[in-house]
A and B are shown apart, each in its own frame.
Chain A
Amino acid sequence: MIELKNAAFSYGGRDILMDMDLRLAPGSFHFLTGPSGSGKTTLMKLCYKALQPTTGLMRIFEQDVRAMDRDDVARVRRRIGVVHQDCQFLDHLNVAENVTLPVQVSERDEEIDEAHLMDLLGWVGLADHYDAMPAELSGGERQRAALARAVIMSPDLIIADEPTGNVDWEMAQRLLSLLIELNKMGKTILLATHDLNLIRTAKQQVAARVLRIQDHRVVLAGADL
């Protein structure tokens, strides 16, 4: 699904990530951890091709990222649901319109299935916020709306960048349980967090691998978590 071989990313002459050898298999659950500024967000951006490795090989859905044109990138991103830490909503659209944006931009001919949308909003606990504007949502509600938007296209891979960073423990657990539920449906999950308690809680429910960024390298974390 995602494959990096001896890949590196540098910016402005500074090495951000080096010697990356990584493979995300379909249906796997990966945590990505490491201190702030270690390069977690950079690795995630590489995974949805917002950035490109400066050296080495990277494949997304078996496609070499260097061979992708801009339309290929758009098509790949339709198979990847991304939950950003800051959510990135369009402030002039309501929750339902924001959640269904990926369907609209996919240029599919079919209409948006309202029942499916309501099910999805109900699943993330936002059925009562259909018409709400993003500014009216709390931090946890925004994260859940972002998760709903990330999964509406039924993507193969879900990338969540610190989705629990701005929410309380109860909401973090709720978001985690939604992601675990998606993983059990066969979705591949890559979740960046520096919350070790969350990782420990998840590992009790799902077979997750924990990757750590250490000295600009991605390593598999041991049993010390």
Chain B
Amino acid sequence: MVDVSGIVALFQGDRQADRVVPPSGFTARLTSFTAGAMAFLTVFALALSLATGRLADRWNAELARTSTVRISAPEGQMAAQSEAVLNVLRTTQGIKTARVMGDKEQRKLLEPWFGPDLPLDSLPIPRLIEVIETDDGPDNESLRLRLSAEAPGAVLDDHTRWRRPLVQAAGRIRLMGLLSILLIAGSTAAMITLAAQSALAANGQVITVLRLIGARDVYIARAFVRRFTVRAFMGALVGTLLAMVATYFLPAAAEEGAFLTGLGFRGAHWLLPLLIPPMAAIVAFWATRLAAFRVLKRLM
């Protein structure tokens, strides 16, 4: 159960207890800056990770519902084999529609590689049949057998060859994004630990006096923990908001599905970056608390 009153008290602070530890301008700015910069990077890592996930899902879904039959046959048999293939497809369970792609469409597909003036008539280009599958899809193995019997020049391409590396690559990029977030959190903890240790070392005399007059370790640690937690939270909040604004103005997803577009957040995903400032505060809380107790244990 989360102790809400404890969190509120942490942020409200104790004016008198806070006064006990002298202000430490440099470490304060360092902590806020570090938290802000790390939050900024985390937002982008998160955006990249989510966008890649969306891309992988889209590729997976789109390619999974389509397949292509490629017919390579002598000029005189092309029409007959095409008709035979269409007949097979029409009578196969799991096929929604099947249509022969026109010359214009095939030219458009080949245009990026061969240019716009492709002499399609003079080249032995195979005929392509676009197949749209139902949600259940056909039994590809039996379909292949039937096609080879009815049209020897027909080859079924269910896009597995394309889909698997694409989805794998997208999954890896998503994993890298998540790994980056973990590394950023670790780096934030390390930086805040260093800043807290520096502040604790600079206040060695204060800590000694407080121990001698009866302060418990937890009281002394709390003064530092509160300070660093609030600074980390505020720094991360500013960094997160700036990164969200920057993300909002990134180019929107292009129709062509270009990879470097559409890196922003969509819908409820816009709420996810708002978790970063509390997470930064939690990281700062534990990093400072552990550093403070480690330093205090060296004193009698």
Contact = CB atoms under 8 A, between A and B. Distances in A.
Interface in B199-256: 205-206, 208-217, 219
A69 to B, nearest CB: 10
Contact of B300 (A50, A88, A106, A149): A50
B209 A88 contact: yes
B209 A74 contact: no
A89 B213 CA distance: 11
B219 A105 contact: yes
B10 to A, nearest CB: 16
B188 to A, nearest CB: 29
A73 B215 CA distance: 9
Contact of B214 (A74, A88, A89, A90): A74
Range for the number of chain A residues in contact with chain B: 20 to 34
A88 B214 CA distance: 14
Nearest to A81: B213
Interface string A79-119: 00010000011101100010001101111000000000000
B19 A88 contact: no
A101 B213 contact: yes
A14 B205 CA distance: 27
A90 B20 contact: yes
Contacts of B213: 77-78, 82, 101-102, 105, 149
Nearest to B300: A50
B208 A88 contact: yes
A52 interface: yes
A160 to B, nearest CB: 14
B12 interface: no
B76 interface: no
Contacts of A82: 212-213
A9 to B, nearest CB: 13
Name the residue among A48, A70, A92, A97 with the largest chain B CB count within 10 angstroms. A70
Interface string A14-29: 0000000000000000
B209 A90 contact: yes
A132 interface: no
B124 interface: no
B122 interface: no
B212 A90 contact: no
Contacts of B209: 88-90, 101
Interface of B: 16-17, 19-20, 22, 205-206, 208-217, 219, 296-297, 300
